[in-house]
Structure 1
Amino acid sequence: MTSTLPAVTTPKVPAQRRPAPEARSTGRTRPPERLRSSRSDLLLCGLLLAAILVVQGWHIADYPTLSDDEGTYLAQAWAVQQGKGLAHYTYWYDHPPLGWVQIALLTWIPSAISPGSMTVGSMRIAMLVISGISAVLVYVLGRRLSLPRWAAGLGMALFGLSPLAVVLQREIFLDNIAVMWLLLAFCLAASPSRHLWHHFGAGLAAAAGVLTKETMLVVLPALFVTMWRHSHRDTRKFALTGAVTACALIGFSYPLFALLKGELLPGSGHVSLWDGVKYQMSRPGSGFILDTSSGSYGVLHSWLYYDRVLPLGGLAGALLLIVTWRWSVTARALAGPALAVAILAAVAMRPNGYLPAMYIIGALPFLALVLAGGAASVAHAVVRRRRAEGEKRYVTGGRYALAAVLALAAGAYVVPHWYDGDRTALTADANKPYRQASHWLSTKVADPKGTRVLVDDALWLDLVHAGYRPGLGAIWFYKADLDPAVTKTMPHGWRDIDYVVASPTVRRDAKDLPNVKAAIQHSEPVATFGTGPDRIEIRQIQTAAAGGAR
Structure 2
Amino acid sequence: MTSTLPAVTGPKVPAQRRPVPTTGPAGRTRPPSRLRSSRSDLLLCGVLLVAILVVQGWNIADYPTLSDDEGTYLAQAWAVQEGRGLAHYTYWYDHPPLGWIQLAVLTWIPAMISPESMTVGTMRGVMLLISGISAVLVYVLGRRLALPRWAAGLGMVIFGLSPLSVVLQREIFLDNLAVMWTLLAFTLAASPSRHLWHHFGAGIAAAVGVLTKETMLVVLPALFVTAWRHSHKDTRKFALTGAVTACALIGFSYPLFALLKGELFPGSGHVSLWDGVAYQMTRPGSGFVLDEGSGSWGVLQSWLYYDRILPLGGLAGALLLIATWRWSVTARALAGPALTVAILAALALRPDGYLPAMYIIQALPFLALVLAGGTASVAHAVLRRRRSATESRPLTWARYTLAGVLALAATAYVVPRWYDGARTAVTTEANAPYEAASTWMATEVADPAGTRVLVDDAMWLDLVHAGYRPGLGVIWFYKADLDPAVTDTMPNGWRDIDYVVASPTVRRDAKDLPNVRQAIEHSKPVAVFGTGEDRIEIRQVETAGGTR
TM-score tier, shorter chain, comes to: over 0.9
CA distance in 2, matches of 1:421, 1:173: 20
CA contact under 8 A between 2:25 and 2:376: conserved in structure 1?
no
Distance 1:389 1:216, change over 3 A: farther
Match of 1:5 in 2: none
CA distance in 1, matches of 2:176, 2:39: 29
Match of 1:66 in 2: 66
Match of 2:161 in 1: 161
Matches within 5 A, 1:359-370: 359-370=359-370
Q: CA deviation at 1:380?
A: 1.3
Match of 2:266 in 1: 266
RMSD: 2.0
Match of 1:424 in 2: 424
Q: CA deviation at 1:324?
A: 1.6
CA contact under 8 A between 2:265 and 2:274: conserved in structure 1?
yes
TM-score by length of 1: 0.94
Distance 1:317 1:426, change over 3 A: same
Match of 2:486 in 1: 486
Q: CA deviation at 1:327?
A: 1.4
Match of 1:371 in 2: 371
SS in 2 for 1:518: helix
CA contact under 8 A between 1:383 and 1:398: conserved in structure 2?
no
Question: For residues 77-126 of structure 1, what are the alpha-carbon distances to aligned partners after superposition, in whole Å with 9 as ceiling and x for unaligned?
Answer: 00000000000000000000000000011111111100001000000000
CA distance in 2, matches of 1:290, 1:382: 35
Question: For residues 358-412 of structure 1, what are the alpha-carbon distances to aligned partners after superposition, in whole Å with 9 as ceiling and x for unaligned?
Answer: 0000000000000000011111122339735843757876665454323211111
CA contact under 8 A between 1:496 and 1:544: conserved in structure 2?
no
Matches within 5 A, 1:306-345: 306-345=306-345
CA distance in 1, matches of 2:211, 2:146: 30
CA contact under 8 A between 1:386 and 1:395: conserved in structure 2?
no
CA contact under 8 A between 2:86 and 2:97: conserved in structure 1?
yes
Match of 1:410 in 2: 410
CA distance in 1, matches of 2:394, 2:319: 31
CA distance in 1, matches of 2:134, 2:395: 35
CA contact under 8 A between 1:498 and 1:544: conserved in structure 2?
no
Question: For residues 254-303 of structure 1, what are the alpha-carbon distances to aligned partners after superposition, in whole Å with 9 as ceiling and x for unaligned?
Answer: 00000000000000000000000000000000000000011000000000
- The amino acid of 1:309's aligned partner reads I
Q: CA deviation at 1:316?
A: 1.0
CA distance in 2, matches of 1:505, 1:370: 36
Question: For residues 179-236 of structure 1, what are the alpha-carbon distances to aligned partners after superposition, in whole Å with 9 as ceiling and x for unaligned?
Answer: 0000000000000000000000000000000000000001111101100000011000
CA contact under 8 A between 1:127 and 1:169: conserved in structure 2?
yes
Matches within 5 A, 1:12-31: 26=26, 28-31=28-31
CA distance in 2, matches of 1:72, 1:25: 45
CA distance in 2, matches of 1:437, 1:16: 67
- The amino acid of 2:500's aligned partner reads V
Question: For residues 427-455 of structure 1, what are the alpha-carbon distances to aligned partners after superposition, in whole Å with 9 as ceiling and x for unaligned?
Answer: 00000000000000000000000000000
Unaligned segments of structure 1, at least 5 residues: 1-13
Bigger Cα Rg: 1
Percent identity (aligned)? 83
CA distance in 2, matches of 1:279, 1:472: 26
Matches within 5 A, 1:278-357: 278-357=278-357
CA distance in 2, matches of 1:213, 1:392: 56
SS in 1 for 2:367: helix
Distance 1:385 1:136, change over 3 A: closer
TM-score by length of 2: 0.94
SS in 1 for 2:384: helix
The answer to whether 1:49 aligns with 2:53 is no
CA distance in 2, matches of 1:511, 1:345: 32
Question: Would you say how many aligned residue pairs link Structure 1 and Structure 2?
Answer: 532
The answer to whether 1:473 aligns with 2:485 is no
CA contact under 8 A between 2:68 and 2:458: conserved in structure 1?
yes
Match of 1:532 in 2: 532
CA distance in 2, matches of 1:522, 1:195: 66
CA distance in 1, matches of 2:499, 2:220: 46
CA distance in 2, matches of 1:324, 1:247: 31
